[in-house]
Structure 1
């Protein structure tokens, strides 16, 4: 046993404390005698105790015993625990008399088999009930660490194969290291058995009714054998195959057919010859089967989509055919389709709003999109820089690919007052988009007109596109409408341009002020091989005049009711000037990068007679290509959706060999099915995390008003069902725990429980709980993990051949500290209260002190004590009488001593006997020091004054008029007595 200070520098406070106590003793005049000394003593003790407490005074005991907790892994991978029990009992035989031991078992969680004990007959029976399908070494280590008592040499002995699958023993080891607890490990080799396990089962996330699919199974084996693989859908067998497996991974695919809509569970089981473990012979998955898919076909020319509808319907895919003018203007109406096909549709027939909605449906909602070629499709359809081009895997620009004839283009744009607002802005956007399609060697001019023509961009080589675009952007709207001067000025400038192809585009929304003289203009155009196309915007335009001008000038006439199609019209016109966009020569497409479509073209590829040239985007996958090479079939992922570009036609003009090919229907069906959505749109995102026999659900609700209460309804494959109330941790984020008793595929639906009745909040989904990782084929990393744990905590790697090694070591000497701060504080508080009592309470402190002093001295003989007691009682009565009659200020009489001390006699001063030394006067006050000193010196004390006379008595006596006795007047004596009483 010893003592020590944790903060010894606080002991320096004893120096100022001693000075303070000395000053307090010298300066405190209110107390005197024993009372003053007692108060000073208490105060000294209080200060001393407080200084010791803040200095960290504590005791300690040096310990040399050992404490060992055995942690036995009793999971299923460890096999029989009899070997572990025997090894622990053998090691306990070597423990010392004072050494303690305990036993803990662990499976999914830890359990105490026996608490810490130093008894020699303590055994190591392992009988606790555990969940043995999992190995949770972290839980066991935490429980073992909590059993140690005091600060002895603490150590955990871990007996395991190290193949943990719940928690982290490394994390528990770091905490044990901080506590000074070492972990010795006894690695247990995993039993080597013949085992075949189903490690993986994969089914497509989404299927359509009547769709064929493959169930993919991965089997891992430790030996070569054969057996049977069975596939079940909702506990109904749908496939059975005889398989041969070899050591390692073995993969198989079993074909299935989605027959009924809804969520379906799938299970794969194996029955193998010589397999010694059955717990890992099944795997699970689930999928959603939708009703027949539906595809929207938009055809540019009526009656040209028969080949497409026949092919898709043969693959159980529903179709709906509409013209481009009937495309929906609401985003929700596109969500009912799984994919959209544009069959040779011109961009001038598709409104800008519809293009934006289709692009959004592909990017955000995962709806598929496919464009089939033709003379009015891709670049020929005016899709340059449109939302549709953004979604496609190909671009419409061909610059740098082939020699295109030089172009001379003049845009004649109406800028009258009727064009104000959206019309003029779209007209400028159309002109700018057309300029962007041209090359630096092309010549461009822009003339805007109202009553008179105004050359915004005089005809010039397109050297600086930015300057031309900026000039077009500055066109204002004002004035009337007069077409003839503008067309005449444009023709005059066009005659000066030397280009291989020359073209004028006229756009207006009104009536011209004059309608004569146009015949001469169109005749001049035809003679000089100049063409002109006209665009009538809205019903107010002079459609008859514009159509006749286009026909007379060998151009094209467009009537645009939706002005948002203007950019597509201008782009189409610019592209049609370069006839090289259409390649109309026979060839056989080459397979370039088919990927999973490779099987579609294993038997060869039919020939084609033409296509529309495009450029593949950098991240697109070109499946088939032409000799140039241009993409014929390309695909890519765009946002959440998938899109496909087929640059030839599907009507038979260029693809007559394809549409007559026996594999056309299945090939087109597979191409379109590839574009179908890969997920089910839902306002809730559900994630699951499996830990042991619990599944943690996390649901995130999208939108501004998430439900207040959300429940998850979980169903298993035996018609069992449980409802889990999800806790809302944050707005729109919910969590919950699901307890599962066995592996399998569990179906789940979400219910909004905010109202009186629970309503389904989202489409059903599910999650898979595989068989425990305890039964997976061993990776062999468990022993290394245990060795790292021992190294981190300062433990050892033990051997099965030497159980006594557990206690065969020198115990580390450790101090067991005893905290004394609380007792010191309690003692200081009690002494502080005593100090207050001494200073504030009016008690006979003199008598108390005298009695304490008498007890400390040697007690007198019985006869002398009796005589002294009588004298003391007489002196006390006299003192009380003197005090009562006002003589308290005089020195009290003292009794004669019982016997002579130190050879000195006792002579009474004034002839009056004195009380015994140290005797207390009446009233409990101690005799003054002078009296005691006189008694010690043997001199007679001063006799007390006579008692006061009664009222009126002796007034005539001469002695009453004499001087006042020593000690002052009666008033003085009363004041002094009052002061003494208040002390």
Structure 2
């Protein structure tokens, strides 16, 4: 612009020049010089002219990764060359890509581009498909002045990068992406996708391992599952195209790290490199369960079920329950079943509560006739620990109780006297509206106390005191007499307690007890001493739907009678067929068809606490199975029993063992002062290590400072930097290289935390999972950018109503004009004939 300011000065100089030139000569010379200056000023201003046109820049990006069929690559190169020649774009570019990308000079040059399995020496990495990298390289290859078209030829199965992250840049640059699916190699291939295993596997636990197999075609295959190279199970299966799920029921022997291997064999396998999948897991020790059963003769049902499900079960007596919470630390769970409240002391119950609450113990309480209402565990530490209240506001049952008492010669002495006291104790528990009767027998039966209201207890006690022992034992007539009287009463509950210490005459007891059972009259039996006919008395209790007792010391007779009377009179005991309803489907029920479970025959009526989770309930909406968190631990109650009384049909049900083992595993303690969730997952060719921590108080721990070391397949060790990425959450990353049979070993340690290790196998890259083309992704990419899947050549080169704006610099043009003006000025001064002609022009006019 400063040059333009000199123009007036140049014109003024013309009027003051001393050169002997004519006026016309001076005017023309001045005009030429002014024009030169104007042209120079315009050239220095570097003006640009944006030309509008239909010029197109096309870049072809061809996927040459391992998953693409080599024959297809050759065909695609020929097509690219023909398409480019036919469309004759203003600019054409060519990119070959896999895990990395590289621009080449021509389509033919793609054939000779260097490739490798790891991208070394600037070669194309064929071990991955990275569409994001490919598009990034294409954006650098375009001629920025023209309309931009990308022809992306790939199977679309990206296993590295994310093309969606780069699409925004492509859209801003005005790139239309046309996609063409590539043919994937291994047309008939199948491979193991994953092996899905449950969390927290324990030694010898029956587990369901689900092997996910992807198949390109319908075919037959053999799948072998191994644990540390030992065969676990082999299956021959029919595979369908797509993802197939095959379940294996396995057990793992031994605790610690275990390598699970899945091997796949198919007929005419086109690509065997991907037939093996390795996975490392950590197997914990067998769950340790302390099982205390109030009726030891029936303990084998649950004991056998739990041990067959891979648990270490200690079958203990009530006296084996510790009185100190620390003594429970050797167990994962304590299970108490049908134990009378009177047999547990306060220290035992309080230690259970403390262990569950403060140490995270697991506790299951199973019901039975002994665990009833107010006279049972109401207002005890056991009730405090459980998710229910035992106290239920109901009347006691209308009861007719008949005691059938052996008074034969063998009962002389303490036996008969203790039995009389036991009968009196039973009477004392009854309400005045209940009915009581006493049949004594030797070789004949006698109504010592005819069935009557229990209101005049003093008089009835006098009758009981008159009993003396005599003659021989004959049980059948006495039972029959009790039956004949009870069958005529209308009491809600009709119950018989039979006591004998000797042998009796044979008779058809089973038929008699069958008639009693049909009339809903129950019979319990008490065998006193070694001479008692235990087998018959046990059968009588079984046939009579009652309970069987064997006692060596007659001093226990009163307590047994008290127990039986309490059980019979309690309204909280519901003894009738019970249909259970699932109220909350939970993981503990996985794989169990509870809809197919048989009916239970009774339960203890309870009331769920406000924060309890009721999982099963009766048809009267009473809790059958409930659980909750109590302090740091878990507690659950099953209000029916676990044995051959109320659960008589359940113990024959195929789901019985699985139901109880899974409930135990869901409830049991996790042994660690600090809960550590240590996970290794692979994302492409990178391991992502995540550590999550929870303190004893159940909150995330911060400032843990974990130390993490990785031992690579070659044996070299690397310490990884671990960063806290959230509350109680730490993370680290480590690059991976494929290793056919050796794992990466990750070791975690920290202060106050037990050291842990995990293994990660990376036998082959994801590129060897030869999925069909991902047309959904290719379509999405095209639609978002205004392109098309499988375009015709003319569609690639269509301008779609768009125009390219090509900037053209004008400074060379103006500089040339300035140069011509300068030369003209020199010519006018050096050519006299021009000026003579110019001077003579007026005279010619």
| TM, length-normalised to structure 1 | 0.49
Instruction: Tell me by how many angstroms 1:264 deviates.
Output: 0.7
Which string of whole-angstrom CA distances, capped at 9 and with x for unpartnered residues, describes residues 409-458 of structure 1?
A: xxxxxxxxxxxxxxxxxxxxxxxxxxxxxxxxxxxxxxxxxxxxxxxxxx
Which string of whole-angstrom CA distances, capped at 9 and with x for unpartnered residues, describes residues 756-811 of structure 1?
A: xxx9853334557696554557476x334333323333445564x63895588998
Instruction: Tell me by how many angstroms 1:146 deviates.
Output: 2.6
Taking structure 1 as reference, are residues 770 and 202 closer, same or farther at Cα in structure 2, changes over 3 Å only?
Answer: farther
Taking structure 1 as reference, are residues 378 and 73 closer, same or farther at Cα in structure 2, changes over 3 Å only?
Answer: farther
Taking structure 1 as reference, are residues 819 and 264 closer, same or farther at Cα in structure 2, changes over 3 Å only?
Answer: farther
Tell me the equivalent position of 1:950. none
Tell me the equivalent position of 1:60. 48
Instruction: Tell me by how many angstroms 1:206 deviates.
Output: 3.3
User: 2:683 matched to 1:691?
Assistant: yes
Q: Is the 8 A contact 1:230 1:240 kept in 2?
A: yes
Q: 2:59 aligns with which of 56, 69, 79?
A: 69
How many Å separate the matches in 1 of 2:741 and 2:107? 48
Q: How does 1:959-974 map to 2 (within 5 A)?
A: none
Q: 1:790 aligns with which of 752, 766, 782?
A: 782
SS at match of 1:237: strand
Q: Over alpha carbons, which structure has the higher Rg?
A: 1
Q: 2:757 aligns with which of 760, 764, 783?
A: 764
Taking structure 1 as reference, are residues 628 and 175 closer, same or farther at Cα in structure 2, changes over 3 Å only?
Answer: closer
Taking structure 1 as reference, are residues 140 and 405 closer, same or farther at Cα in structure 2, changes over 3 Å only?
Answer: same
How many Å separate the matches in 1 of 2:728 and 2:665? 33
How many Å separate the matches in 2 of 1:795 and 1:651? 70
How many Å separate the matches in 1 of 2:254 and 2:239? 33
Tell me the equivalent position of 1:646. 638
User: 2:629 matched to 1:634?
Assistant: no
Q: How does 1:29-48 map to 2 (within 5 A)?
A: none
How many residue pairs get aligned? The number is 584
How many Å separate the matches in 1 of 2:108 and 2:766? 38
How many Å separate the matches in 1 of 2:46 and 2:657? 89
Which string of whole-angstrom CA distances, capped at 9 and with x for unpartnered residues, describes residues 827-880 of structure 1?
A: xxxxxxxxxxxxxxxxxxxxxxxxxxxxxxxx9xxxxxxxxxxxxxxxxxxxxx
Which string of whole-angstrom CA distances, capped at 9 and with x for unpartnered residues, describes residues 104-134 of structure 1?
A: 22222x321426xxx9997775434333343
Instruction: Tell me by how many angstroms 1:212 deviates.
Output: 3.9
Q: Is the 8 A contact 2:255 2:283 kept in 1?
A: yes
User: 2:229 matched to 1:235?
Assistant: yes
Q: How does 1:447-458 map to 2 (within 5 A)?
A: none
Taking structure 1 as reference, are residues 729 and 599 closer, same or farther at Cα in structure 2, changes over 3 Å only?
Answer: closer
Q: 1:177 aligns with which of 171, 174, 177?
A: 171
How many Å separate the matches in 2 of 1:249 and 1:122? 38
Tell me the equivalent position of 2:357. 360
Q: Is the 8 A contact 1:324 1:345 kept in 2?
A: no
Which string of whole-angstrom CA distances, capped at 9 and with x for unpartnered residues, describes residues 185-231 of structure 1?
A: 33446568223333332233333334444433233434433232211
Instruction: Tell me by how many angstroms 1:266 deviates.
Output: 0.8
Q: 1:167 aligns with which of 148, 154, 161?
A: 161
User: 2:699 matched to 1:711?
Assistant: no
Instruction: Tell me by how many angstroms 1:73 deviates.
Output: 1.6
SS at match of 1:787: helix
SS at match of 1:199: strand
Q: How does 1:302-341 map to 2 (within 5 A)?
A: 317-319=312-314, 321=316, 327=322, 334=328, 336-341=330-335
Taking structure 1 as reference, are residues 381 and 338 closer, same or farther at Cα in structure 2, changes over 3 Å only?
Answer: farther
Taking structure 1 as reference, are residues 772 and 380 closer, same or farther at Cα in structure 2, changes over 3 Å only?
Answer: farther
User: 2:190 matched to 1:203?
Assistant: no
Tell me the equivalent position of 1:90. 82
Tell me the equivalent position of 1:79. 69
Q: 1:271 aligns with which of 260, 265, 272?
A: 265
Which string of whole-angstrom CA distances, capped at 9 and with x for unpartnered residues, describes residues 538-580 of structure 1?
A: xxxxxxxxxxxxxxxxxxxxxxxxxxxxxxxxxxxxxx99954
How many Å separate the matches in 1 of 2:133 and 2:241? 34
Taking structure 1 as reference, are residues 747 and 303 closer, same or farther at Cα in structure 2, changes over 3 Å only?
Answer: farther
Taking structure 1 as reference, are residues 380 and 282 closer, same or farther at Cα in structure 2, changes over 3 Å only?
Answer: farther
Which string of whole-angstrom CA distances, capped at 9 and with x for unpartnered residues, describes residues 152-206 of structure 1?
A: 4343321123232333323311112123333333344656822333333223333
Structure 2: state its 5+ residue gaps: 2-40, 116-122, 399-430, 435-455, 459-565, 583-587, 696-700, 812-828, 830-845
Tell me the equivalent position of 2:553. none
- RMSD across aligned positions (CA): 5.4
Q: How does 1:410-489 map to 2 (within 5 A)?
A: none
Tell me the equivalent position of 1:741. 737
Q: 1:812 aligns with which of 783, 803, 806?
A: 803
SS at match of 1:77: coil
Taking structure 1 as reference, are residues 320 and 714 closer, same or farther at Cα in structure 2, changes over 3 Å only?
Answer: farther
Answer with 249-258 or 153-162: which moved more: 249-258
SS at match of 1:762: strand
Taking structure 1 as reference, are residues 213 and 656 closer, same or farther at Cα in structure 2, changes over 3 Å only?
Answer: closer
Tell me the equivalent position of 1:105. 96
How many Å separate the matches in 2 of 1:688 and 1:169? 25
How many Å separate the matches in 1 of 2:712 and 2:232? 22
Structure 1: state its 5+ residue gaps: 4-51, 407-497, 502-524, 528-575, 821-858, 860-983
Instruction: Tell me by how many angstroms 1:674 deviates.
Output: 3.9
Q: Is the 8 A contact 2:225 2:263 kept in 1?
A: yes
User: 2:615 matched to 1:621?
Assistant: yes
Taking structure 1 as reference, are residues 100 and 86 closer, same or farther at Cα in structure 2, changes over 3 Å only?
Answer: same
How many Å separate the matches in 1 of 2:240 and 2:628? 38
Instruction: Tell me by how many angstroms 1:725 deviates.
Output: 1.0
SS at match of 2:254: coil
Using CA pairs under 8 Å that are at least 6 residues apart, name the structure with larger relative contact order, 1 or 2: 2
Instruction: Tell me by how many angstroms 1:737 deviates.
Output: 1.9
How many Å separate the matches in 1 of 2:594 and 2:243? 28
How many Å separate the matches in 2 of 1:688 and 1:819? 62
Q: 2:718 aligns with which of 718, 723, 726?
A: 723
How many Å separate the matches in 2 of 1:181 and 1:667? 60
Q: Is the 8 A contact 2:597 2:653 kept in 1?
A: no
How many Å separate the matches in 2 of 1:629 and 1:723? 59
Which string of whole-angstrom CA distances, capped at 9 and with x for unpartnered residues, describes residues 599-657 of structure 1?
A: 7998977x86x64222568853328x5x86755x52557589765433345688x5696
How many Å separate the matches in 2 of 1:248 and 1:221? 5
How many Å separate the matches in 2 of 1:150 and 1:596? 60
Q: How does 1:504-903 map to 2 (within 5 A)?
A: 579-583=569-573, 585=575, 587=576, 590=579, 595=589, 598=592, 611-615=603-607, 619-622=613-616, 634=625, 638=629, 643-648=635-640, 670=661, 673-675=664-666, 677=668, 681=672, 682-702=674-694, 706-708=703-705, 710-714=707-711, 722-729=717-724, 733-742=729-738, 748-752=745-749, 761-766=754-759, 774-776=767-769, 778=771, 782-795=774-787, 797=789, 799=791, 802=793, 805-806=796-797, 812-816=803-807
SS at match of 1:103: strand
Q: Is the 8 A contact 2:60 2:152 kept in 1?
A: yes
Instruction: Tell me by how many angstroms 1:692 deviates.
Output: 1.7
Q: Is the 8 A contact 1:62 1:813 kept in 2?
A: no
| TM, length-normalised to structure 2 | 0.56
Q: Is the 8 A contact 2:96 2:104 kept in 1?
A: no
How many Å separate the matches in 1 of 2:782 and 2:649? 70
